[in-house]
Structure 1
Amino acid sequence: MGNQQIVQKLWNLCNVLRDDGITYHQYVTELTYLLFLKMMKETDNEGSIPEEYRWDSLINIHGLELKTHYQKLLIDLGNENNDVISQIYTNAQTNIDEPKNLEKIVRSIDALDWYSAKEEGLGDLYEGLLEKNASETKSGAGQYFTPRVLIDLMVKLAKPQAGERCNDPAAGTFGFMIAADRYVREQTDDYFDLGEKEAEFQKKQAFTGVELVKETHRLALMNAMLHNIQGEIVLGDTLSEMGKNLKNFDVILTNPPFGTKRGGERPTRDDLTFATTNKQFNFLQHIYKSLKPDGKARASVVVPDDILFKKDGNGVEIREDLMNKCNLHTILRLPNGIFYAPGVKTNVLFFTREVTDRENTKDVWVYDLRTNMQSFGKRSPLTEKHFENFITAYESKDRESIKDDRFNVFTREEIQKKDNSLDIGLIADDSLAAYDDLPDPIDSAEEAIAKLNQAVGLLNEVVIELREVEGEKVATKPIKVSSNE
Structure 2
Amino acid sequence: MTATTDIVAKLWNLCHILRDDGITYHQYVTELTYLIFLKMAAETGAEDQLPEHHRWADIRKHQGVEQLTFYKELLIHLGTYGSAQVQAIFQNAQTSLRQPRILKALVEAIDGLDWYSAREEGLGNMYEGLLERNATEKKSGAGQYFTPRPLIDSMVALMQPKAGEYVQDPAAGTGGFLIAADRWIKAHTNDLWDLTEAEQYFQRHNAFYGMELVPDAHRLGLMNLMLHDVSGDLQLGDALSEQGTRLHKADLILTNPPFGTKKGGGLPSRDDFTYPTSNKQLAFLQHIYRGLKPGGRAAVVLPDNVLFEDNTGRDIRRDLMDKCDLHTILRLPTGIFYSQGVKTNVLFFTRGRTDKGNTADVWVYDLRSNMPQFGKTRPLTREHFIDFEAAFGPDPLGKAPRTDEGEQGRFRRFTREQIAARGDNLDVTWLRDEGADDALPEPDVIAAEIIDTLRTALEEMEALTDMLGSDEDADGAVAEAAE
Please give the range of the TM-score, normalised by the shorter of the 2 chains. 0.7 to 0.9
- Structure showing greater radius of gyration is 1
Query: Amino acid of the residue matched to residue 125 of structure 1?
Result: M
What's the offset of the Cα at 1:51? 2.3
Q: What are the superposed Cα offsets for residues 415-470 of structure 1, whole Å, 9 maximum, x if unpaired? A: 00111000014412222699xxxxxxxxxxxxxxxxxxxxxxxxxxxxxxxxxxxx
Distance 1:52 1:408, change over 3 A: same
Aligned equivalent of 2:401, options 398, 401, 406: 398
Structure 1 Cα separation of the partners of residues 329 and 420 of structure 2: 16
Change (3 A) 1:401 1:275: closer
Contact 2:323 2:358 in 1 (8 A): yes
Is it true that 1:343 corresponds to 2:341 in the alignment? yes
8 A Cα contact 2:404 2:412, kept in partner? no
For residues 8-46 of structure 1, the C-alpha deviation after alignment (integer angstroms, 9 at most, x for no partner) is 100111111111100001100100010011111121111
Secondary structure of 1:230's aligned partner: coil
Matches of 2:343 and 2:404, distance apart in 1 = 29
What SS is found at the alignment partner of 1:381? Answer: coil
Taking structure 1 as reference, are residues 185 and 412 closer, same or farther at Cα in structure 2, changes over 3 Å only? Answer: same
Post-superposition Cα deviations, 1:43-77, rounded to whole Å, max 9, x if no partner, equal: 11111112211111122321112111111111111
Deviations 1:239-289 (A, max 9, x none): 101111223200000000011112210011100011111111110000000
Distance between the aligned counterparts of 1:309 and 1:423, measured in 2?
A: 6
Q: Secondary structure at the match of 2:345?
A: strand
Given that residues 203 and 230 in structure 1 are in contact (C-alpha distance below 8 angstroms), is that contact kept between their aligned partners in structure 2?
A: yes
Choose between structure 1 and 2 for higher RCO, CA contacts under 8 A separated by at least 6 residues. 2
Structure 2 Cα separation of the partners of residues 131 and 401 of structure 1? 36
Corresponding residue SS for 2:66:
helix
Within 5 A, what are the aligned runs for 1:200-349?
Answer: 200-293=201-294, 295=295, 297-312=296-311, 314-349=312-347
Q: How does 1:86-97 map to 2 (within 5 A)?
A: 86-97=87-98
C-alpha displacement of 1:400: 2.6
Q: Report percent identity of matched pairs.
A: 58
Question: Equivalent residue of 2:365, what SS?
Answer: strand
Letter aligned with residue 341 of structure 2: G
Paired residue for 2:434?
Answer: 430
The one-letter amino acid paired with 2:310 is K
**Do structure 1's residue 414 and structure 2's residue 413 form an aligned pair?**
no
- 2:469 maps to which residue? none
**RMSD across aligned C-alpha pairs, in angstroms?**
1.4
What SS class does the counterpart of residue 400 from structure 1 fall into? coil
1:116-162: per-residue Cα shift (whole Å, max 9, x none)?
Answer: 10011001111110111000000000112100000001111010000
Letter aligned with residue 342 of structure 2: V
Q: Taking structure 1 as reference, are residues 20 and 329 closer, same or farther at Cα in structure 2, changes over 3 Å only?
A: same
Please list every run of at least 4 consecutive aligned residues from structure 1 whose deviation after the TM superposition is greater than 4 angstroms: 401-404
Match of 1:14 in 2: 15
Gaps of 5+ in 2: 395-399, 439-483
- TM superposition score normalised by structure 1: 0.87
| Distance in 2 between residues matched to 1:129 and 1:251, nearest whole Å | 28
Would you say the 8 A contact 1:20–1:96 is kept in 2?
Answer: yes
Could you say if the C-alpha distance between residues 210 and 426 of structure 1 is closer, same or farther in structure 2, counting changes exceeding 3 Å?
farther
Aligned residue in 1 for 2:444: none
Structure 2 Cα separation of the partners of residues 365 and 61 of structure 1:
62
Q: Return closer, same or farther for 1:424/1:105 CA change in 2, 3 Å cut-off.
A: same
| Corresponding residue SS for 2:392 | helix
> Is contact 2:210–2:247 with CA below 8 Å preserved after alignment?
no
Distance 1:433 1:67, change over 3 A: closer
The one-letter amino acid paired with 2:300 is V
Q: TM-score, normalised by structure 2?
A: 0.87
Distance 1:206 1:366, change over 3 A: same
Q: Secondary structure of 2:53's match?
A: helix
Residue 380 of structure 2 corresponds to which residue in structure 1? 382
In the alignment, structure 1 segments of 5+ residues that lack a partner are 435-485
Which residue of 2 is the match for residue 56 of structure 1? 57
* Counterpart secondary structure, 1:234: strand
